[in-house]
């Protein structure tokens, strides 16, 4: 043997400064900030949201009034973007329609996430018979043709904004439910969940306070993307004439002006562009969140 | 068997592997030099992050790039220089003259191919065998690594085999081209001790038969003592001690190596009723920042650190019997 | 520290007059899998006197972790009885179960998986105090600080998140959490096997010190015989869901009776054995061949028979019961004669 061990007890820890606490959310934000495309998306999204929030107050022209000659091209009048087939101001339509589109898209996405997380969390956490029953229900909704079901709902219950949002939410929650379920099944086996159980945590606490926050990253990404999908969905319904007749939305402008597309390109192009930019912004942010919230990429 | 005067089979000189982190080059292996002779087993020991696995990947030409790269130094296998060799050339060397067995037999095999196909694939790629010959070779290799009923097992998928059997298949793949150098990175960590013993028997047997040189990466001093001829201790990317395994285990020189050898509980025939406290290396496993610091990276944890240790990396002091140590205590003593 | 410290336990393996703190009889745990049921634990008996460390050793798949989880009521016992301080806790629930959890805590294997990544270290250690309502609310912050100090962490580190700690430090947080409710029994599930060797010593010394100072009782799970030998007073060796040998530490290593126990001891790589025999083959050939059978498809008779050098026909049909061999040693082998030989 060599000389005996120099010491056998723990000496004081070397005086290392304690670093600043860095929460997982802050880590994710640091990562997100470094992502150029995501930051552009975020800027664009904030712009769209600001427009929807403040635009109608700043631009007082009503989107429903006939203000000029129908089908006036952009730049030919004081109404910059021209007018639609009944002479309504297109710019006013875009500004007011943005608010409606985003509200319908946002609330439909919120509903999608709410139903999806609820179903997925219970199925994934409890497993067994509860899982089986909930997954059969999910499959039932999954095989129904989405657009058709939404159309039926709207036609049966009327084309109000609330009904449209419910219709979209009701048909698109299934993939969120499946994602949530898989995350819950994975996380419920983690030792920290077991540790919580060993200190007497209730099922409710385990589901909502322990597992859900840790399952959140992919759910946040999916929520962002489902907001984009919901906007497209709303546009699709409005295009088919199933939009709320009392609320101007981007999809409805396109739907209304569809017969005149060859004479008045602007009446469908500008709202189309608005939808495209909004969905693009959401997708970029969703992609950025996906990278920022992925622990495997974070260490780079 | 290790101290032959013949030129070494593998010779590594001043190898530095760096990773690009936030625009800056951070070394993970620094100025590493060592030799490996035919038929010899070299152990590499150290904690996680000490650079032992990265050294293995560098030898295989598998440093993940980006963000990593071999920043400088040379790796010679026989008379061939491997650093900066063309990828096509490396591919011929990798698997044929140097091959590697990984830690995790569960994830190192492709689940959608049979084990026979995976062995045969390597044989065909490097030895130019026909499909028929390659299959025969696969059966032969499975028999060689001690898998019962190899004619039947050759058609099994990885999930049909136990952990020990999978690791044997990994070894069969690594050995199918009769490589000159076999690198084994913690090859038995995921296995049970009774199976580990069998895998080590297999290593010995194959080494006797093919005279393969083995680099065995491990954290287990018992494995070092039983399996290796020579051992190299790494800390924070650098070699801090090297020597014949038996001498090293009996009397490690570097304060870190001493801690490593003494901190593990030993299995004894007559244990005391009340446990003696184990020797402790204080502090934490060094992070990436420790590798970039000047001086000896172990100094902050070293019970015998001197002012000079924090300023400058110690010179390597060689002593008779093929031992060397990079520590200021020895360097000062030699003066 | 405000944890009540009972008088230091006698370190000897002699059975004290007091009833054992944990008494496990005929414990069975089963898991449903596709196409059947796995008998992860198939009838296990052991008892741990207060203040002692009981080691459960075995290879992966031997059921040692499942048995331990069942003792902590984190896996459901399919049969058998678990008694804590004489009281049957096998099927209690609700308030009784919560009270039992205060007395039995667990330290997990992987410190990277056992701490909630979204909680600060201080909150993690405090959580058991709040959930199990330990002590007055006003004293809890001070108790968290005392627990941090007890396991060798600094109070300033409470604000940090798990990812900001090293593996060894995370395991210290896990130990502090387990100690928070002032438990009597701590189940240690491979608490050092995921750590670097140099850090293992720190944690093993900490566990030994806590056992001595707080009079804790350990159920210690490990695949590493040397670690179990170091820390435990009594040891049981498991193979495929059953205990094949159980003995006080000294007896087990002085005179292992089961062929599998012997194989384990011989297979463990040893620096001491290798040194001094310079030259020629430093390790003997593996004592036993083959792999452990799959728990999905256990063989009839003795599970070890297929790999056992001493097996006879009877071993392949008859399941051996654990037989008392005197001196606290028991073995489940039809052929062991109790003196280290085979009849």
Rounded to whole angstroms, the Cα distance separating C230 from A180 reads: 45
Least Cα distance to B106 among B184, B63, B169, B153 occurs for: B169
B150 contacts B180 by C-beta, under 8 angstroms: no
Question: How much is the average pLDDT of C184-189?
Answer: 96
How high is the pLDDT of residue C173? 97
The packing angle between helices A161-172 and A90-126, to 10°, is 40
Could you tell me how many residues make up chain C?
343
Distances (CA, A) of B103 to A15, B45, B170, B185, B191: 35, 14, 10, 6, 9
pLDDT value, residue A264? 79
Which residue from C115, C128, C152 is facing A192, i.e. has the nearest CB?
Answer: C115
Please give the pLDDT value at position C14.
Answer: 47
pLDDT tier for residue A12 given thresholds of 50, 70 and 90: very low
Domain boundary (B176, B197, B224) is at B176
- Collapse the DSSP code of B160 into the 3-class scheme (helix H, G, I; strand E, B; otherwise coil) and give the result: helix
Mutate to test the interface with C, among A195, A208, A213 (most CBs of C within 10 A): A195
**pLDDT of B261-283, one tens digit each?**
988 888 888 888 888 899 988 88
Residues B215 and B306 in one domain: yes
* Residue whose entry in the numeric block shows the structure tokens 């207060």: C50
Rounded CA-CA distance C85/C77 in Å is 18
- Which chain C residue shows the shortest CA-CA distance from B45? C197
Which residues in chain B have Cβ-Cβ distances shorter than 8 Å to C288? 194
Mean pLDDT of B277-293: 78
Quick one: closest CA in B to A4, which residue? B262
B112 shares its domain with B65: no
Out of A13, A19, A24, the one facing C118 most closely (by C-beta) is A24
Of residues B335 and B96, the one with the higher pLDDT is B96
More confident residue, B208 or A14: B208
Q: Do A200 and C117 touch (CB under 8 A)?
A: no
At residue A231, the pLDDT reads: 86
Nearest chain A residue to C175 by CA: give it: A195
Pick from B176, B202, B227: which residue ends a domain? B176
Lowest mean pLDDT among A60-74, A126-140, C84-98, C233-247: A60-74
Same domain, residue pair B143 and B206: no
Chain C positions in Cβ-Cβ contact with residue A27 (cut-off 8 Å): 163
Going by pLDDT thresholds of 50, 70 and 90, the confidence category of residue C10 is: very low
* pLDDT the model gives residue B85: 75
Inter-chain contacts counted by CB atoms under 8 A, chains A and B: 33
> What is the rounded average pLDDT for all residues in chain A?
83
Neighbours of chain C (3+ CB pairs under 8 A): A, B
Question: Does one domain contain both B222 and B234?
Answer: yes
What's residue B47's pLDDT? 86
Q: Answer yes or no: do B62 and B189 share one domain.
A: yes
Provide the pLDDT for residue A68: 79
| C240, pLDDT greater than 50 | yes
Residue C128 confidence (pLDDT) above 60: yes
Predicted confidence (pLDDT) at residue A283 exceeds the cutoff of 70: yes
**DSSP letter string over chain A?**
--SPPS--SPPPPP--PPPPP--HHHHHHHHHHT-HHHHHHHHHHHHHHHHHHHHHHH----SSSB-S-TTPPTTSSSSTT-B-TT-BBHHHHHHHHHHHHHHHHHHHHHHHHHHHHHHHHHHHHH-HHHHHHHHHHHHHHHHS-HHHHHHHHHHHH---HHHHHHHHHHHH-HHHHHHHHHHHHHHTTSHHHHHHHHTT--HHIIIIIIIHHHHHHHHHHHHHHHHHHHHHHHHHHHHTT-S-TTS--HHHHHHHHGGGTTT-HHHHHHHHHHHHHHHHHHHHHHHHHHHHT-HHHHT-
The 3-state secondary structure of C209-273 reads HHHHHHCCEEEEEECCHHHHHHHCCEEEEEECCEEEEEEEHHHHHHCCCCHHHHHHHHHCCCHHH
| B212-251 tens-digit pLDDT | 999 999 988 889 988 999 999 999 899 999 999 989 998 9
Q: What is the pTM of this model?
A: 0.85
Residues B140 and B59 occupy one common structural domain? no
- At residue A267, what are phi and psi to the nearest 5 degrees? -70, -25
Nearest to B98 by CA among B241, B254, B214: B214
Beta bridge partners of residue C81, listed in sequence order: C25
Q: Within an 8 Å CB–CB cutoff, is residue B258 touching chain A? A: yes
Domain assignment present for residue B270? The answer is no
pLDDT tens per residue across span C264-311: 998 888 777 655 444 444 566 677 887 788 777 888 899 999 889 899
CA C124 – CA C126 distance, rounded (Å): 5
Burial call C108-122: b when 16+ CB within 10 Å, e when fewer:
bbbbbbbbbbbbbbb
B334: confidence class by pLDDT, cuts 50, 70, 90: low
User: Which H or E run contains B194?
Assistant: helix B193-210
- Same-domain status, B236 and B127: no
∠ CA B324-B29-B235, rounded to 5°: 50
Kindly report the backbone phi and psi dihedral angles of residue A233, in degrees, each rounded to the nearest multiple of 5, phi listed first.
Answer: -65, -45
In the predicted structure, residue C5 carries a pLDDT above the cut 50: no
Within chain C, where are the H helices? 64-71, 94-103, 121-131, 140-150, 167-179, 197-214, 225-231, 249-254, 259-267, 271-274
For position A152, what pLDDT does the model report?
Answer: 87
- The span from the first CA to the last CA of chain C, in angstroms, equals 54
C-alpha angle with apex C227: C223 to C229, nearest 5 degrees?
A: 105
Residue C93 has a CB neighbour count (10 Å cut-off) of 9
Range B37-61 average pLDDT: 90
Q: How far is CA C7 from CA A29, A220, C13, C49, C51, in A?
A: 52, 53, 17, 14, 9
The 10 Å Cβ neighbour count of residue C30 is: 19
Percent of chain C at pLDDT > 70 equals 91
Mean pLDDT score of chain B, rounded to an integer?
86
Q: Which of the residues C51, C270, C274 would you substitute to probe the B interface, choosing the one with the greatest number of B C-beta atoms within 10 Å? A: C274
| Residue B52 counted as domain residue | yes
* Residues 6+ away with beta carbon under 8 Å from C158: C120, C121, C122, C125, C144, C145, C148
Crossing angle of helices A24-33 and A265-292, in 10° steps, is 130
Separation in Å, CA of B92 to nearest CA in chain C: 34
**What is the spatial distance between Cα A230 and Cα A227, in angstroms, rounded to a whole number?**
5
φ, ψ for residue C32 (rounded to 5)?
-75, 135
The tens digit of pLDDT for each residue in A158-178 reads 888 888 888 888 888 999 999
Hey, is the C-beta of C230 within 8 angstroms of any chain A C-beta?
no
Residue B8 corresponds to which tokens in the numbers above?
């070494």
Q: Which chains touch A (3 or more CB pairs under 8 A)?
A: B, C
The CATH number covering residue B42 comes to 3.40.50.300
Closest CA to A126 of A197, A191, A181, A179: A181
pLDDT value of position C99: 92
Q: Across the interface, do A8 and B303 touch by the CB < 8 Å criterion?
A: no
Please state, in angstroms and as integers, the Cα–Cα distance from residue C51 to each residue in B324, C172, C201, C233, following that order: 47, 21, 21, 10
Nearest-angstrom CA–CA distance, A93 and A256 = 12
Nearest CA to A165 among A51, A56, A243, A250?
A: A243
Inter-chain contact B271–C230, Cβ cutoff 8 Å? Answer: yes
In a domain, B273, yes or no: no
Q: A17 in contact with B at a CB cutoff of 8 Å?
A: no
Question: C 208-247 residues with CB below 8 A of B?
Answer: 208-209, 223, 225-227, 229-231, 233
| Chain B: closest CA distance from residue A3 (Å) | 8
Residues C74, C46: Cα–Cα separation, whole Å: 18
Contact at 8 Å (CB) between C208 and B265?
A: no
Answer yes or no: do B194 and C204 touch at CB < 8 A. no
Pairing of strands C330-331, C185-189: unpaired
Same-domain check for residues B195 and B158: no
ipTM of the complex: 0.84
Per-residue confidence (pLDDT) for residue B5, from 0 to 100: 65
Q: Are the C-beta atoms of residues B55 and B234 closer than 8 Å to each other?
A: yes
Predicted confidence at residue C283, as pLDDT, reads 60
B269: in domain: no
Å from B276 to nearest chain C CA?
8
What number of other Cβ atoms are within 10 A of residue B85's Cβ?
16
Instruction: Please indicate, yes or no, if residue B2 is contained in any of the structural domains.
Output: no
* Number of domains chain B is built from: 2
Bond from prior residue into B66 cis (ω within 30 degrees of 0): yes
pLDDT tens digits along B52-85: 889 999 998 888 877 888 888 999 988 888 887 7
Each residue of A192-220: pLDDT tens digit? 999 999 888 899 999 999 999 999 888 98
State which residues form the domain around B156. 106-176
The model's pLDDT over A243-274, given as tens digits with 9 standing for 90+, comes to: 888 888 888 888 888 888 788 788 788 888 88
Give the one of B262, B279, B283 whose C-beta lies nearest to A13's C-beta.
B283
Shared domain check, B126 and B81: no
Looking at domain C48-72+93-237, its CATH class is alpha beta
**Same domain (yes/no): B135, B159:** yes
Do residues B35 and B10 touch, judged by C-beta distance below 8 A? yes
Confidence of residue C11 (pLDDT cuts 50, 70, 90): very low
Q: Is residue B76 domain-shared with residue B182, that is, in the same domain?
A: yes
Give the three-state DSSP class for C25: strand
CB-based contact A199 C132, cutoff 8 Å: yes
The domains of chain C are located at 48-72+93-237, 258-268+285-343
Q: Which own/partner contact pairs does B166-170 have at CB distance under 8 Å and 24+ positions apart?
A: B166/B105, B166/B106, B166/B109, B167/B101, B167/B105, B167/B191, B167/B195, B167/B199, B168/B142, B168/B199, B168/B202, B169/B105, B169/B109, B169/B115, B169/B118, B169/B119, B169/B142, B169/B145, B170/B101, B170/B102, B170/B105, B170/B108, B170/B109
Q: Inter-chain contact A9–B300, Cβ cutoff 8 Å?
A: no
One domain, residues B166 and B116: yes
Contacts of A1 in chain B (CB under 8 A): 250-251
How large is the average pLDDT for residues A50-66?
Answer: 81
- Is the C-alpha dihedral spanning C298, C304, C308, C314 positive or negative? negative
pLDDT higher at C28 or A264: C28
Q: Is residue A103 within 8 Å of A251, Cβ to Cβ? A: no
Q: Is a pLDDT exceeding 50 seen at residue A13?
A: no
CB-CB contact of A184 with A126 (8 Å) = no
CB-based burial, A155-186: b 16+ in 10 Å, e otherwise: eeeebebebbbbbbbbbbbbbbbbbbbebbbe
Q: Which two tokens stand for residue B310?
A: 């924090």
Lowest mean pLDDT among A10-19, A32-41, C219-228, C266-275: A10-19
Domain boundary at B176, B209, B235, which? Answer: B176
- Nearest 10 degrees: CA dihedral of A29, A31, A32, A37? 170
Query: Are the beta carbons of C271 and B267 separated by less than 8 Å?
Result: no
For residue B188 the two structure tokens come to 């038995």
Of B163, B220, B268, the CB nearest to C269: B220
Residue B129 has pLDDT above 50, yes or no: yes
- For C160, half-sphere exposure in the C-beta direction (CA atoms, 13 angstrom radius) is 18
CB pair distance less than 8 Å for B282 and A13: yes
State whether residue C1 sits within 8 Å of chain B by CB.
Answer: no
Domains of chain A, earliest start first:
46-60+70-298 (1.10.3720.10)
């Amino acid at each position: 043997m060599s000389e005996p061990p120099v010491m056998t007890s723990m000496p004081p820890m070397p005086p290392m400064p304690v670093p600043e606490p860095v929460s997982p959310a802050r880590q994710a934000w640091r990562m997100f900030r470094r992502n150029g495309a995501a930051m552009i998306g975020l800027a664009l999204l904030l712009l769209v949201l600001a427009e929807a929030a403040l635009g109608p107050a700043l631009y007082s022209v009503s989107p429903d009034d006939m203000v000029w000659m129908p089908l006036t091209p952009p730049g030919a009048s004081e109404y910059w973007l021209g007018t639609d087939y009944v002479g309504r101001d297109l710019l006013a339509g875009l500004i007011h329609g943005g608010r409606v589109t985003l509200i319908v898209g946002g609330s439909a996405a919120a509903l999608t996430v709410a139903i999806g997380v609820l179903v997925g969390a219970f199925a994934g956490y409890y497993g067994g018979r509860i899982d089986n029953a909930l997954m059969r229900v999910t499959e039932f909704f999954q095989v129904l043709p989405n657009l058709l079901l939404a159309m039926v709902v709207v036609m049966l219950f009327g084309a109000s904004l609330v009904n449209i949002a419910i219709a979209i939410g009701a048909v698109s929650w299934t993939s969120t439910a499946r994602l949530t379920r898989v995350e819950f099944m994975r996380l419920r086996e983690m030792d920290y969940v077991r540790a919580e159980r060993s200190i007497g945590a209730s099922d409710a606490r385990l589901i909502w306070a322990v597992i859900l926050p840790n399952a959140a990253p992919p759910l946040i990404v999916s929520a962002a993307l489902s907001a984009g999908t919901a906007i497209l969905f709303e546009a699709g319904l409005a295009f088919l004439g199933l939009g709320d007749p009392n609320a101007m939305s981007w999809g409805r402008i396109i739907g209304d002006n569809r017969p005149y597309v060859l004479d008045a390109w602007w009446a469908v192009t500008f709202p189309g562009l608005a939808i495209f930019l909004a969905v693009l912004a959401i997708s970029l942010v969703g992609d950025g969140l996906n990278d920022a919230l992925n622990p495997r990429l974070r260490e780079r | 068997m290790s101290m032959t005067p013949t030129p070494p089979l593998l010779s590594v000189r001043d190898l530095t592997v760096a990773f690009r982190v936030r625009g800056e080059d951070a070394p993970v292996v620094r100025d590493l030099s060592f030799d490996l002779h035919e038929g010899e087993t070299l152990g590499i020991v150290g904690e996680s992050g000490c650079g032992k696995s990265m050294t293995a990947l560098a030898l295989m030409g598998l440093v993940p790039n980006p963000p990593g790269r071999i920043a400088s130094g040379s790796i010679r296998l026989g008379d061939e220089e491997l650093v900066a060799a063309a990828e096509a050339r490396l591919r011929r060397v990798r698997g044929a003259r140097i091959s590697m067995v990984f830690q995790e037999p569960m994830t190192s095999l492709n689940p959608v191919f049979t084990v026979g196909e995976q062995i045969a694939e390597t044989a065909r790629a490097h030895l130019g065998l026909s499909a028929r010959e390659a299959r025969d070779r696969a059966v032969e290799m499975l028999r060689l690594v001690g898998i019962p009923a190899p004619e039947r097992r050759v058609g099994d998928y990885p999930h049909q085999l136990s952990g020990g059997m999978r690791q044997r298949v990994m070894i069969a793949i690594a050995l199918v081209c009769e490589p000159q150098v076999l690198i084994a990175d913690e090859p038995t960590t995921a296995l049970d001790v009774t199976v580990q013993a069998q895998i080590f028997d297999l290593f010995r047997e194959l080494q006797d038969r093919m005279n393969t040189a083995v680099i065995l990466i491990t954290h287990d001093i018992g494995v070092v003592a039983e399996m290796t001829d020579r051992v190299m201790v790494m800390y924070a990317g650098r070699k801090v001690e090297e020597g014949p395994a038996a001498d090293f285990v009996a009397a490690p020189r570097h304060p870190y190596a001493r801690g490593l050898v003494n901190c593990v509980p030993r299995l004894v025939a007559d244990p005391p009723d009340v446990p003696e406290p184990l020797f402790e290396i204080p502090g934490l496993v060094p992070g990436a920042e420790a590798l970039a610091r000047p001086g000896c990276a172990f100094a902050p944890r070293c019970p015998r650190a001197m002012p000079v240790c924090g300023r400058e990396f110690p010179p390597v002091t060689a002593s008779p019997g093929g031992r060397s140590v990079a520590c200021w205590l020895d360097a000062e003593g030699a003066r | 520290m405000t944890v009540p410290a009972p008088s230091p336990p006698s370190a000897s393996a002699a059975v004290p007059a007091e009833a054992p703190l944990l008494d496990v009889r005929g414990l069975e745990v089963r898991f449903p899998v596709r196409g059947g049921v796995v008998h992860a634990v198939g009838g296990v008996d052991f008892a741990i006197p207060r203040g002692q460390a009981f080691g459960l050793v075995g290879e992966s798949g031997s059921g040692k972790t499942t048995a331990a989880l069942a003792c902590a009521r984190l896996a459901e016992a399919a049969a058998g009885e678990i008694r804590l301080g004489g009281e049957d806790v096998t099927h209690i629930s609700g308030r009784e179960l919560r009270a039992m959890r205060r007395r039995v805590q667990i330290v997990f294997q992987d410190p990277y998986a056992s701490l909630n990544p979204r909680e600060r270290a201080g909150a993690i250690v405090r959580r058991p105090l709040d959930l199990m309502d330990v002590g007055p609310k006003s004293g809890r912050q001070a108790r968290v600080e005392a627990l941090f100090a007890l396991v060798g962490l600094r109070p300033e580190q409470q604000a940090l998140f798990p990812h900001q700690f090293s593996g060894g430090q995370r395991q210290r947080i896990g130990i502090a959490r387990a100690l928070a409710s002032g438990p009597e029994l701590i189940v240690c599930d491979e608490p050092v096997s995921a750590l670097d060797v140099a850090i293992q010593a720190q944690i093993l010394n900490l566990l030994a010190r806590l056992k001595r100072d707080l009079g804790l009782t350990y159920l210690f799970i490990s695949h590493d015989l040397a670690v179990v030998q170091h820390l435990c007073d009594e040891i049981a060796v498991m193979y495929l869901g059953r205990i094949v040998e159980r003995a006080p530490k000294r007896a087990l290593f002085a005179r292992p009776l089961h062929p599998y126990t012997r194989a384990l001891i011989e297979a463990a790589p040893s620096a001491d054995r290798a040194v001094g025999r310079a030259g020629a083959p430093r390790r003997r050939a593996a004592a036993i061949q083959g792999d452990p059978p799959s728990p999905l498809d256990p063989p009839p008779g003795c599970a070890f028979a297929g790999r056992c050098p001493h097996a006879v026909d009877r071993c392949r049909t008859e399941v051996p019961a654990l037989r008392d061999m005197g001196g606290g040693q028991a073995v489940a082998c039809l052929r062991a004669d109790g003196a280290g030989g085979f009849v």
